[in-house]
């Protein structure tokens, strides 16, 4: 009984502390052009510390800023009308994926907390819900990463090189 309570407390603590990203709002950023996936270089680290564990949102925000950066730099990159259309459609698809993914994470978190609020919760159910949370988070992050790859593939090799050169070398 004590072991079960300790495990349940550990799981709940992990969800509460580690699950802060579920409701995380975008981290305020300086307004700078962001291309080629290097947006993270300008993050305000103090804001990140204040918001708990924002790792998935850092990835997601970085990718959205990259897509927005390509569209904002359309003249610099010499994007064709078709490329702009494809990037806009991809960005819209990515937004929908993020909304659905975050909603699922929120619902799973509520289910987990509801389950644990009962006097006689089943540890196996808690483990199943935690597993579902992990899977949903992984699918969301991986799906958004795939969208970033797709966005880069819309650009020509020359445009990708121009974007990378604009950003400068990685550290």
- DSSP for 146-168? HHHHHHHHHS-HHHHHHHHHHH-
pTM: predicted TM-score of the whole model, two decimal places: 0.65
pLDDT at res. 62: 86
pLDDT tens-digit series, residues 5-46: 344 434 444 443 344 444 444 444 444 445 544 444 555 545
**In angstroms, rounded to a whole number, what is the distance separating the alpha carbons of residues 34 and 32?**
6
Among 81-85, 95-99, 115-119, top mean pLDDT goes to 81-85
Q: What average pLDDT does the structure give for the chain?
A: 75
| Residue 171 pLDDT class (50, 70, 90 cuts) | very low
Kindly state the average pLDDT of the residues 55-61.
79
Triad 102, 66, 61: Cα angle to 5°: 30
**pLDDT, greater one: 167 or 17:** 167
Residues contacting 136, CB < 8 A, separation 6+:
101, 104, 105, 108
Residue 146: name the closest of 63, 25, 24 by CA.
63
pLDDT at res. 146: 94
Q: DSSP E strands: which ranges in the chain? A: none
Residue with tokens 């290097």: 38
pLDDT at res. 100: 93
pLDDT for residue 56 is more than 80: no
Kindly state the average pLDDT of the residues 42-56.
52
Domain ranges of the chain: 2-167
pLDDT for residue 127 is more than 50: yes
Distance spanning both ends of the chain, measured CA to CA: 51
Residues of the chain with pLDDT > 70: what percent?
Answer: 65
């Amino acid at each position: 009984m004590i072991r079960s309570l300790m495990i349940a407390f550990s799981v709940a603590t992990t969800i509460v502390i580690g699950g802060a990203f579920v409701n995380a709002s975008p981290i305020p950023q300086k307004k700078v052009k962001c291309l080629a996936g290097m947006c993270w270089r300008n993050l305000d680290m103090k804001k990140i510390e204040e918001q708990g564990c924002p790792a998935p949102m850092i990835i997601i925000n970085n990718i959205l800023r990259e897509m927005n950066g390509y569209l904002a730099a359309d003249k610099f990159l010499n994007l064709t009308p078709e490329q702009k259309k494809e990037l806009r459609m991809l960005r819209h698809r990515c937004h929908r994926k993020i909304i659905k993914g975050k909603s699922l994470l929120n619902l799973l978190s509520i289910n987990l907390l509801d389950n644990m609020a009962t006097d006689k919760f089943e540890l196996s159910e808690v483990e199943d819900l935690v597993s579902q949370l992990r899977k949903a988070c992984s699918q969301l992050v991986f799906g958004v990463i795939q969208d970033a790859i797709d966005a880069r593939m819309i650009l020509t090799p020359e445009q990708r090189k121009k974007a990378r050169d604009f950003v400068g070398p990685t550290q």
